[in-house]
Amino acid sequence: MSQKNLILVLGDQLTLDAGALQGATPADCHVLMAELAEEASYVRHNRHKIALVFSAMRHFREELRAAGFTVTYYAYEEGLSSLADALDRIVREEGCGRLRCCQPGEYRVQQALEDWSRNSGVALDWAADNRFLCATGDFNAWAAGRKTFRMEHFYRVMRRRYQILLDEEGEPEGGRWNYDRENRAGWRGKHQVPARAELEHDAITREVLELVAAAFPDNPGDLASFNLAVTRAGAEEQLAFFIDHCLDRFGQYQDALAEESDWLYHSLVSMYLNIGLLCPLASCRQVEAAWRDGRCSLAAAEGFIRQVLGWREYVRGIYWFAMPEYGERNGLQAEQPLPAWFWDAEVDMRCLQRALKQSLDLGYAHHIQRLMVIGNFALLAGLSVREVCAWYLAVYVDAFEWVELPNTLGMALFADGGLMASKPYAASGRYIQRQGNHCASCRYRPDRVTGENACPYNSLYWAFINRHRASLEENPRMSLALRNWDKKPARERESILQWAQREGDRLLRVP
């Protein structure tokens, strides 16, 4: 093999014609893939995520071999720990001229590969990850000179670049760039939620599920409910189901919280986009086509496209622009230890319990559950930024650091000093009540701030405002909240702060 290029394909790079594999032919390269203990355990990954990645990797191996590629594949059972171990072994057994790899999705992996290349003396060639629609260099050029990064500005650039949802004059369809106002309806149980089909697992996936159950017995994830596609064809079927059965109501209810359904009308395709089984641009164009064919509202189509073409590309750009320093930020000095119930969902706040349980069991929660239920609590309680980010990276099937870190550290926890979010996304129980029907099944009342059965979000919200008022005074979007706090009589403010201290200590299990 010494005359061939060695191409390393990571578990989130499963696209045949992109990245390091773009332009590769079976005659001139040898592909390496490896299931590694270090990658499977550097955080306490949800078992759904491990099973998805391992099964998708094994299916992709077969796709590569069917296309004529020589593939060396080290399965988890072979006991290799790290990327360095896998690379050392193949170099020792096969020889290697140069190593080619697509830019990883995590800074630590990039550093590990550069360290290995330097120590081994094997040259490393980076291939740009052209599955993404905004190259890191292009994002850096857009970001240059900006004190803050606003997704809306970036999103308009991307819409124009790819000519998506534009009219003949190059202006946004419908006259507006953003239809978020139409995408905030709370759930009141008035519509039937489409049933998701149970997928039939083939021999490869069954083998992987048995492996993951045995090797990761204490990780979160109910493997009996594993229902994820593991091939490109399967992922495309899931996208088609979303477009045919869910898209029309997706926009209206994308912020909703429901007792009746874990999924509502969400697409459930982010994990396939993030490991390479779906193309983001093709997915956006299919959704645009559905709108042009009259199969969904403009608000629904724009809502999906904004998440994929806008938000997804935006957070990746921020990650590579600001790393590695970004991961150390803690702008609000949040240091409270993560409560143990984040790992078992044994908490008596109904919305939080539901969001945590489905996150742990299924590796899934939609963006409002992540941001305004779980993230909101972490923000208000001042939970450790490092611990919260590690938890998010661990429990979600679609979580890789490039997407998880900005969403958690920047958006949910406002720990980056406002680089990406224009204000802290802090909210009281009233917000959660508006979004759905969890409050009706909860012992707490969202209309009470103190006293028995008062929703803890309420007093914790005001305590957060009071605790951080010095920095919040500089933020014009927080002026109304500060004025409302200041209008309260001194005795009421003191009562709220005392109740918040009591509730915070109880929920955080402070002795």
Q: Let me know if residue 99 belongs to a domain.
A: yes
Specify the range with the lowest mean pLDDT, choosing from 180-189, 265-274, 419-428, 471-480: 180-189
The pTM of the full predicted model, rounded to 2 decimals, is 0.95
Beta strands in 110-186 (DSSP E): 123-127
Specify the range with the lowest mean pLDDT, choosing from 70-74, 251-255, 290-294: 251-255
Confidence (pLDDT) at 184: 80
Residues 25 and 171 in one domain: no
Q: Let me know if residue 208 belongs to a domain.
A: no
Confidence (pLDDT) at 511: 60
Total domains present in the chain: 3
Residues 345 and 402 in one domain: yes
Residues 31 and 88 in one domain: yes
Q: Which three-class secondary structure string do you get for 8-64?
A: ECCCCCCCCCCHHHCCCCCCCEEEEEECCHHHHHCCCCCHHHHHHHHHHHHHHHHHH
Query: In terms of residues, how long is the chain?
Result: 511
Q: Let me know if residue 381 belongs to a domain.
A: yes
Residues 123 and 147 in one domain: no
Q: Is the pLDDT of residue 230 over 90?
A: yes
| 80-103 pLDDT tens trace | 999 999 999 999 988 888 999 999
| 378-408 pLDDT tens trace | 999 999 999 999 999 999 999 999 999 999 9
Distances (CA, A) of 367 to 253, 277, 370, 411, 448: 12, 21, 5, 11, 26
Q: Is the pLDDT of residue 5 over 90?
A: no
Last residue of a domain, one of 127, 153, 175: 127
- Cα separation of 475 and 418, whole Å? 9
CATH number of the domain at 64, please: 3.40.50.620
**Can you give the residue range of the structural domain that contains 77?**
5-127
Structure tokens at 26: 């079976």
- Cα separation of 309 and 281, whole Å? 7
Residues 349 and 474 in one domain: yes
Residues 102 and 47 in one domain: yes
Distances (CA, A) of 92 to 56, 88, 97, 201, 475: 27, 6, 12, 36, 58
- Cα separation of 295 and 289, whole Å? 9
Confidence (pLDDT) at 1: 42
Residues 346 and 478 in one domain: yes
- Cα separation of 41 and 52, whole Å? 15
Distances (CA, A) of 71 to 16, 61, 64, 155, 419: 13, 7, 7, 39, 43
Distances (CA, A) of 368 to 5, 266, 374, 378: 45, 12, 9, 14
**Tokens 């938890």 found at:** 391
Cis ω for the linkage preceding 424 (within 30 of 0):
no
Measured over the CA atoms of residue 389, residue 391, residue 393 and residue 397, the dihedral's sign is: negative
